[in-house]
């Protein structure tokens, strides 16, 4: 086996983007599928991926978990996935079918199986649950159905013949289609001959446009989508104007009242009228409770903000959605590369709050997000292993992620921490913090932090509600999300709405003479993720038929999901 680098296999900016993706070793192949160029009669590899029920895209198993048989061609080795592919559950295996570039293959039987009781049950279960399978030819996906039931007779059939229609433009493959034929009744002792045929034809489709047929512009660019964007944009304009008007008018009145009070003698001043945000000016810059955790969360949030914007921009410019696992691989690389941002902002905020345990703070910043994500993934991975699903993450991929955290994220975060402590660690507050904390007076029920937090996420969630529907549909249904320009616009709208909401929430809390604004404003913004999480549960239960939910609904699944909330909202 010889080692070589996997690089991007397409044109334009995508090539530059994926130069940054992890270098993965792959086995020597007998074709040039990585450059997408072929010579006449050169082998074209058909990779078998996964099989699973049509109603739940996330429930997938190895293609050969069903009693299919491989072709007679010599096995060229298991496909070595990139890190992104492994984490997303791709499990490509060689089909053993002989397909040569521009060379037609007549109907050919490549193997035959005899059904025993066990194989019969496996196929019947797959047909009853409408199992689909996925294959790849030159990185182009193909889907096919296992079989079909005859409900009137109570019989089940499996398709035994695959007809491939491939199109080429010059020396590149630009289109792949497959038709399943040859229904065979499933009975004990039945012999099923599996066959295939291949037909090639010339096409005028350009290579860079070959992925367009997998996109669904009628769904993603529907006028409802445009209307939701316009509606969110108008809400932003209204909200920004409302916040500006309320705050400016209110603050102007407060300044006028306080200026009038300063001109009065102590005997003339009505102490009963002393209220408002200015009364807590000596406590408003008091360090937040648990400053180490608070600074780690803010540092992680700043990093996630940069990661999100960068990945969206890379995807818009490089069309990463056309490459298996490239989006996740790019996100992992960008997250590792932006670790100094986490260390810088986390350490500077922690130092401004008077923190002294900066090493512990740095380690908390490094481990916070990976620990939550890996902890949740470990739990889901345990369920996937129990069901023998392809979503189970290989041990080697776990080791790779751990190495990235230890040898890339940790050192870069340390660099950012040192810079943050030394360059921005000095507090520059406009007033001095009182030595003794001011008592917090009683306030109306709707000014309580819990109420402010629970209501703070309503408007931000409303601005992204429609977009979340499209994202969930692409995640759980057979849609490829590609409108990342929409996503970037919605994300910017979310940022503006969240900023406005937190400003208002902070003002109301300070006006109630409660100076504990740091955690309240943080969770007011983070509560948006709680609404997103609840909506995802609703979508999963009522829009899909999820085996995972039926399995773990009474287990700590909700707990792990809740942990994602504040971190995700920091974007």
**Strand-pair category, 191-202 with 155-169:** parallel
**Which residues are CB-contacts of 118 (< 8 A; sequence separation ≥ 6)?**
67
Residue 25 confidence (pLDDT):
36
pLDDT in tens, 274-296: 566 778 778 888 888 999 999 99
Output the six-digit token pair for 230: 């316009």
Q: Residue 18's pLDDT is what?
A: 41
CB 376 within 8 A of CB 560: yes
Q: Map tokens 């009669």 to a residue.
A: 41
Using the structure block, give the residue that is written with the tokens 């287990």: 555
- Residue 179's pLDDT band, with cuts at 50, 70 and 90, is very high
Say how far apart CA 132 and CA 256 lie, in whole Å: 70
Q: Which of 114, 163, 134, 125 is closest to 57 using CA atoms?
A: 134
Q: What is the mean pLDDT of residues 256-270?
A: 56
Q: DSSP per residue over 421-443, as a string? A: HHHS-S---SSPPPSSPPPPPP-
- Residue 184: which pLDDT band, with cuts at 50, 70 and 90? very high
Side-chain-facing half-sphere of 187: CA atoms under 13 Å? 7
At 170, phi and psi to the nearest 5? 70, -120
Q: Sign of torsion, CA 558 561 567 571?
A: negative
Instruction: With a cut of 70, say whether residue 449 has pLDDT above it.
Output: yes
Taking residues 444-461, report their average pLDDT: 90
Alpha helices in 405-483 (DSSP H): 410-423, 449-456, 458-476
User: Please, which residues have CB within 8 angstroms of residue 449's CB and are 6 or more apart in sequence?
Assistant: 509, 514, 516, 519, 520, 523
Question: Residue 222 and residue 183: Cα distance in Å, rounded?
Answer: 38
The predicted-structure confidence for 44-82, as pLDDT tens digits, reads as follows 999 999 999 988 787 899 999 999 999 988 766 556 678
> Whole-angstrom Cα distance, residue 129 to residue 283?
62
Q: Say if residue 420 is exposed, middle or buried (CB neighbours under 10 Å; 0-12, 13-18, 19+).
A: buried
Query: Given a cut of 50, is residue 570 above it in pLDDT?
Result: no
The span from the CA of 390 to the CA of 396, in Å, is 15
Q: Is pLDDT of 350 > 70?
A: yes
Instruction: Please report, for residues 47, 62, 80, 110, 360, the alpha-carbon distance to residue 76 in angstroms, rounded to integers and kept in the order given.
Output: 11, 18, 11, 17, 49
How many Cβ atoms from other residues are within 10 Å of residue 430's Cβ? 7
Q: Quick one: the chain helix, strand, coil %, rounded to 5?
A: 55, 15, 30
**What is the C-alpha separation between 521 and 535, in angstroms, rounded?**
22
């Amino acid at each position: 086996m010889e080692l070589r680098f996997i690089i991007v296999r397409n044109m334009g900016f995508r090539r530059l983007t994926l130069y940054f993706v992890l270098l993965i070793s792959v086995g020597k192949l007998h074709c040039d599928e990585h450059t997408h160029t072929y010579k006449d009669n050169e082998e074209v590899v058909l990779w078998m991926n996964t099989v699973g029920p049509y109603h739940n895209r996330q429930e997938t198993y190895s293609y050969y978990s069903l009693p299919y048989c491989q072709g007679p061609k010599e096995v060229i080795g298991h496909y070595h996935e990139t890190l992104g592919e492994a984490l997303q559950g791709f499990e490509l295996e060689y089909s053993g079918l002989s397909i040569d570039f521009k060379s037609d293959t007549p109907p050919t039987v490549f193997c035959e199986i005899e059904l025993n009781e066990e194989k019969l049950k496996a196929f019947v279960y797959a047909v009853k649950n409408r199992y689909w399978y996925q294959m790849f030819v030159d990185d182009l996906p193909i889907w096919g159905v296992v079989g079909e039931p005859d409900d009137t007779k109570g019989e089940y059939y499996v398709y035994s013949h695959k007809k491939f229609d491939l199109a080429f433009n010059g020396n590149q493959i630009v289109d792949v289609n497959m038709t399943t034929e040859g229904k065979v009744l499933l009975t004990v002792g039945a012999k099923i001959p599996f066959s295939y045929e291949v037909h090639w034809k010339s096409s005028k489709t350009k290579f860079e446009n070959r992925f367009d047929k997998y996109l669904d512009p009628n769904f993603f660019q529907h006028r409802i989508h445009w209307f939701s964007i316009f509606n969110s944009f108008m809400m932003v304009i209204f909200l920004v104007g409302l916040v500006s008007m309320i705050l400016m008018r209110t603050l102007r009145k407060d300044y006028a009242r306080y200026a009038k009070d300063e001109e009065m003698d102590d005997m003339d001043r009505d102490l009963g009228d002393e209220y408002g945000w200015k009364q807590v000016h000596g406590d408003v810059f008091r360090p937040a409770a648990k400053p180490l955790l608070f600074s780690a969360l803010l540092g992680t949030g700043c990093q996630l903000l940069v990661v999100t914007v960068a990945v969206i921009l890379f995807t818009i410019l490089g069309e990463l959605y056309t490459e298996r696992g490239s989006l996740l691989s790019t996100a992992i690389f960008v997250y590792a590369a932006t670790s100094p941002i986490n260390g810088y902002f986390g350490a500077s905020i922690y130092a401004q709050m008077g923190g002294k345990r900066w090493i512990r703070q740095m380690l908390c910043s490094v481990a916070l997000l990976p620990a939550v994500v890996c902890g949740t993934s470990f739990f889901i991975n345990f369920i996937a292993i129990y069901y023998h699903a392809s979503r189970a993450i290989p041990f080697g991929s776990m080791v790779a992620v751990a190495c990235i955290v230890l040898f890339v994220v940790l050192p870069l975060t340390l660099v950012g921490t040192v810079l943050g402590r030394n360059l921005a660690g000095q507090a520059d507050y406009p007033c001095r913090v009182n030595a003794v904390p001011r008592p917090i007076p009683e306030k109306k029920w709707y000014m309580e932090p819990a109420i402010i937090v629970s209501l703070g996420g309503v408007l931000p969630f409303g601005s992204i509600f429609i977009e979340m529907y499209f994202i969930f549909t692409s995640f759980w249904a057979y849609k490829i999300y590609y409108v990342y320009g929409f996503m970037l616009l919605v994300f910017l709208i979310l940022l503006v709405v969240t900023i406005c909401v937190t400003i208002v929430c902070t003002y109301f809390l300070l006006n109630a003479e409660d100076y504990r604004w740091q955690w309240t404003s943080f969770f007011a913004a983070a509560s948006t993720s709680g609404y997103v999480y609840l909506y995802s549960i609703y979508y999963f239960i009522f829009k899909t038929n999820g085996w995972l939910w039926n399995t773990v609904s009474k287990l700590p699944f909700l707990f792990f999901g809740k942990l994602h909330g504040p971190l995700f909202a920091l974007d």
